[in-house]
């Protein structure tokens, strides 16, 4: 018999209590994992953002448009390879619940600037030549059953009215972090109708995206762009796509800050559950630990015994939690609309944090029982009545 | 031959809420190798405290305790733990076996602190359980044994590492008459046949009769000896 066997037997001495502790730990770790996955899924936009792409928007706010004329002016700046422009369309597809991003884009330049949205040459050709064509991401094509040639009808909200589109292509994401849940269509198709129905809103676009040759020149070129439009009616703010994504996400900072807080609070709760179990166990075994000391076991050896017991409970609970979290996240990824979280998966960093939480809990939960054992004298322990 | 245990000017006090509570005063005692000494006295007389001090599980306030040539009062906690493992076997009133371990594993516990290999440990445990007559109960858990059998397992645990000194605190205090007699027979045998120096605390004059000598404690003083 080795000390580990005694620790193992001790861990499961009260089977029901051990089971409840393990289940509490597994459930809490799963909750922690889901929350962390939501936070990382939300941040995926930052990961997908490119350092060599600049986004130019109105300095006042993202929601105010830019004159289309800016597009041509920005193209002339040295160091910029290509520029495209996009506008948020909004709209409703059948029901408000069917949410996915819809953009009016410049068909000639969009796929040059965003090569991670992959179309076949044939699809690109079809899209460019058809005025009311649209391209949809592979994920929403799968979700709504869109096929090439299908008609998609949107009910406009920002741009009221009924808008019909023909699916000319289904883009494939180049990277894991590429959003495959967007729908893009010709800005000209939008602008024609806007010019007729709301002439003051014509020839405007949401933002410009410029691909630069050298990412190290991002600050310099951004300043050049903004200088170009300084003191105009629509001053601009240009930043890298990465900074832009961070700024956008920061506007939801309170929500995700709260989620972060809750996820770490969960770890603290599990710690309290396991620590409580360990403290109860140590209290019940006060006399046994005193007997072990009498037999010649050192405080260090008894501490190791307690630490092993805490580790066994934490590892069993952690393994169960980790074992269940992968299918849980996979199930949630299926259940949650793709457009909410285009990439919803268990990231290595989440697994690492879970494993770290297990180790932390195992160590921290053993501290108080060890302290108790170290402080108690043998005589006090032997006389302990429980 | 020097005495196995030499106690000189021993005093022990406990401190509660800033007040000193004296338990033992100026105890002088010699126990020879192979002696079987019974310590008797009323509750609170300090007999268990004296036993604990001799066994190295408590610290004296004043005085000196030399056991087998070692001054145990000056040892550090870890040295004392090592010394206990090598020199003393302790028998408790309430057996104090680990309930999740079998009789075999309970007896094997002290051997985890030795360098013996698995086969050697098994041999030692089987021998110890054989001496107390429980070779056929090795796989039983404490709850599957009677009180007398549990105490016999506890004795096997106390002798498995072959210590020179056995200390027993009311070893028959929780047992019926027959079981108590069996336990006393085993302890006597360990003393006479295996040469263990035994110090036993007891309330029971009948149990004390098993010892070669009896000493009385009253209010912390060693008041006399009777052979």
Q: Do A287 and B96 touch (CB under 8 A)?
A: yes
The alpha carbon of residue B217 is apart from the nearest alpha carbon of chain A, in Å, by: 19
Residue-wise pLDDT for A314-330, tens only, equals 999 999 999 999 899 98
Q: For residue A367, what are its two tokens? A: 């501290």
**Cα three-residue angle A22-A301-A307, rounded to 5 degrees:** 20
Residue-wise pLDDT for B196-218, tens only, equals 999 999 988 999 999 999 999 99
Question: Looking at beta carbons, which residues of chain B come within 8 Å of A295?
Answer: 84-85, 90, 109-110, 113, 157
Alpha carbon distance B225, B40 (integer Å) = 10
Residue among A1, A9, A379 whose CB faces B57 most closely: A379
Q: Do A9 and B52 touch (CB under 8 A)?
A: no
Question: From the CB of residue A177, how many other CB atoms can be counted at a distance below 10 Å?
Answer: 16
Q: Do A288 and B96 touch (CB under 8 A)?
A: yes
Minimal Cα distance from A3: which residue of B? Answer: B112
pLDDT at B225 over 60: no
Question: Looking at beta carbons, which residues of chain A come within 8 Å of B98?
Answer: 6, 288, 291
Q: Do B113 and A287 touch (CB under 8 A)?
A: no
The alpha carbon of residue B209 is apart from the nearest alpha carbon of chain A, in Å, by: 27
Alpha carbon distance A179, B131 (integer Å) = 77
| pTM for the structure as a whole | 0.71
Alpha carbon distance A298, A294 (integer Å) = 9
Torsion from C-alpha of A364, A368, A369, A373, nearest 10 degrees: 130
Residue among A9, A297, A379 whose CB faces B58 most closely: A379
* Phi, psi (rounded to 5 degrees) for B34: 80, 5
Q: For residue A53, what are its two tokens? A: 């792409």
Beta pairing, strands B88-91 & B165-169: parallel
Torsion from C-alpha of B43, B45, B49, B53, nearest 10 degrees: -150
The alpha carbon of residue A284 is apart from the nearest alpha carbon of chain B, in Å, by: 12
DSSP class of B132: T
Q: Do A296 and B96 touch (CB under 8 A)?
A: no
- Interface residue of B81, B84, B143 to substitute, partner A, most A CBs within 10 Å: B81
Alpha carbon distance B102, A370 (integer Å) = 25
Which residue's entry shows tokens 């980790």?
A322
DSSP class of B93: T
Are A190 and A104 contacting, i.e. CB atoms less than 8 angstroms apart?
yes
Query: Residue A86: which H helix or E strand, with range?
Result: strand A80-88
Q: Do A295 and B157 touch (CB under 8 A)?
A: yes
- Could you give the ipTM of this predicted complex? 0.92
User: Domains, chain B, ranges and CATH?
Assistant: 34-52+77-225 (3.40.50.300)
Residue-wise pLDDT for B139-164, tens only, equals 999 999 999 999 999 999 999 999 99
pLDDT of residue A385: 63
pLDDT of residue A282: 87
Residue-wise pLDDT for B22-51, tens only, equals 999 999 999 999 999 999 999 889 999 999
Residue-wise pLDDT for B105-138, tens only, equals 999 999 998 989 999 999 999 999 999 999 999 9
3-state helix, strand, coil in chain B (%, to 5): 40, 30, 35
pLDDT along chain A (386 residues), means of 10: 85 92 92 87 68 90 90 92 94 89 94 93 93 94 94 94 95 86 94 92 94 89 94 92 77 78 87 87 90 93 94 94 91 72 82 91 92 90 75
Q: For residue A301, what are its two tokens? A: 């050896």
Are B47 and B217 contacting, i.e. CB atoms less than 8 angstroms apart?
yes
Q: Do A291 and B96 touch (CB under 8 A)?
A: yes
List, in sequence order, every residue forming a beta bridge with A83; answer none if it has no partner.
A210
Q: Where are the beta strands (DSSP E) in chain B?
A: 5-16, 19-31, 36-40, 62-67, 70-71, 88-91, 165-169, 197-201, 213-218, 221-226
* Phi, psi (rounded to 5 degrees) for B61: -80, -40
pLDDT of residue A338: 61
Q: Do B81 and A293 touch (CB under 8 A)?
A: yes
pLDDT of residue B227: 40
Query: Residue A185: which H helix or E strand, with range?
Result: strand A183-186
pLDDT of residue A107: 93
Question: Looking at beta carbons, which residues of chain A come within 8 Å of B81?
Answer: 293, 296-298
Closest CA to B38 of B128, B172, B133, B219: B172
Residues 6+ apart with CB under 8 A from A10: A281, A285, A305, A309, B100
Question: Looking at beta carbons, which residues of chain A come within 8 Å of B108?
Answer: 1
The alpha carbon of residue B210 is apart from the nearest alpha carbon of chain A, in Å, by: 25
pLDDT of residue A62: 81
Using CB atoms within 10 Å of the CB of residue B193, give its burial: 0 to 12 exposed, 13 to 18 middle, 19+ buried. Answer: exposed
């Amino acid at each position: 018999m080795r000390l580990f066997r005694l620790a193992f037997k001790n861990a499961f001495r009260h089977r029901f209590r051990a089971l409840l502790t393990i289940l509490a730990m597994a459930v809490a770790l799963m909750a922690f994992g889901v929350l962390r996955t939501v936070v990382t899924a939300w941040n995926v936009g930052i990961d997908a953002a490119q350092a060599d792409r600049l986004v130019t928007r109105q300095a006042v706010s993202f929601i105010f448009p830019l004159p289309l004329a800016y597009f041509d002016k920005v193209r002339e700046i040295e160091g910029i390879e290509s520029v495209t422009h996009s506008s948020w369309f909004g709209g409703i597809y059948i029901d408000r619940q069917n949410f996915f991003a819809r953009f009016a884009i410049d068909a000639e330049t969009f796929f040059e600037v965003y090569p991670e949205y992959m179309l076949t040459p044939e699809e690109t050709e079809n899209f460019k030549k058809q005025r009311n064509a649209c391209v949809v991401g592979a994920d929403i094509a799968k979700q709504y059953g869109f096929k090439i040639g299908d008609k998609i009808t949107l009910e406009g909200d920002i741009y009221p009215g009924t808008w019909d589109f023909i699916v000319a292509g289904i883009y494939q994401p180049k990277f894991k972090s590429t959003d495959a849940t967007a729908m893009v269509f010709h800005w000209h198709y939008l602008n024609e109708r806007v010019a007729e129905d709301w002439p003051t809103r014509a020839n405007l676009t949401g933002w410009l995206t410029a691909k630069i040759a050298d990412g190290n020149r991002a600050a310099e070129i951004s300043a050049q762009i903004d200088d170009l439009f300084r003191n105009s009616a629509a001053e601009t703010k240009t930043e890298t796509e990465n900074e832009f994504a961070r700024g956008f996400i920061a506007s939801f900072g309170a929500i995700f800050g709260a989620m972060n807080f809750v996820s770490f609070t969960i770890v603290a709760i599990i710690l309290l559950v396991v620590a409580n179990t360990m403290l109860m166990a140590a209290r019940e075994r006060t006399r046994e630990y005193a007997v072990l000391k009498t037999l010649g076991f050192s405080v260090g050896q008894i501490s190791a015994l307690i630490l092993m017991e805490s580790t066994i409970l934490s590892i069993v609970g952690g393994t169960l939690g980790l074992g269940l979290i992968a299918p849980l996240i996979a199930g949630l990824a299926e259940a949650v609309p793709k457009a909410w979280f285009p990439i919803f998966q268990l990231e290595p960093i989440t697994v690492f944090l879970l494993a770290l939480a297990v180790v932390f809990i195992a160590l921290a939960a053993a501290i108080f029982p060890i302290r108790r054992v170290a402080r108690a004298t043998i005589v006090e322990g032997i006389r302990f009545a429980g | 031959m020097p005495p196995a245990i030499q106690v000189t000017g021993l005093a022990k006090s406990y401190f509660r809420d800033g007040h000193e509570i004296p338990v033992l005063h100026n105890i002088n005692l010699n126990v020879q190798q192979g002696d079987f000494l019974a310590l008797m006295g009323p509750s609170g007389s300090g007999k268990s405290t004296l036993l604990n001090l001799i066994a190295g599980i408590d610290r004296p306030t004043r005085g000196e305790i030399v056991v087998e040539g070692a001054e145990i009062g000056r040892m550090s906690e870890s040295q004392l733990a090592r010394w206990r493992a090598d020199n003393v076997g302790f028998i408790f009133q309430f057996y104090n076996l680990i309930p999740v371990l079998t009789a075999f594993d309970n007896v094997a516990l002290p051997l985890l602190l030795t360098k013996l290999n698995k086969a050697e440990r098994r041999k030692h445990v089987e021998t110890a359980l054989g001496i107390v007559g429980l070779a056929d109960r090795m796989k039983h858990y404490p709850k599957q044994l009677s009180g007398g059998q549990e105490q016999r397992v506890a004795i096997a645990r106390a002798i498995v590492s072959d210590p020179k000194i056995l200390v027993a605190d009311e070893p028959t205090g929780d047992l019926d008459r027959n079981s108590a007699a069996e336990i006393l027979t085993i302890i006597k045998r360990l003393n006479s046949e295996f040469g263990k120096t035994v110090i036993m605390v007891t309330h029971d004059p009948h149990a004390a009769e098993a010892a070669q000598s009896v000493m009385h404690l009253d209010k912390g003083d060693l008041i006399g000896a009777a052979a």
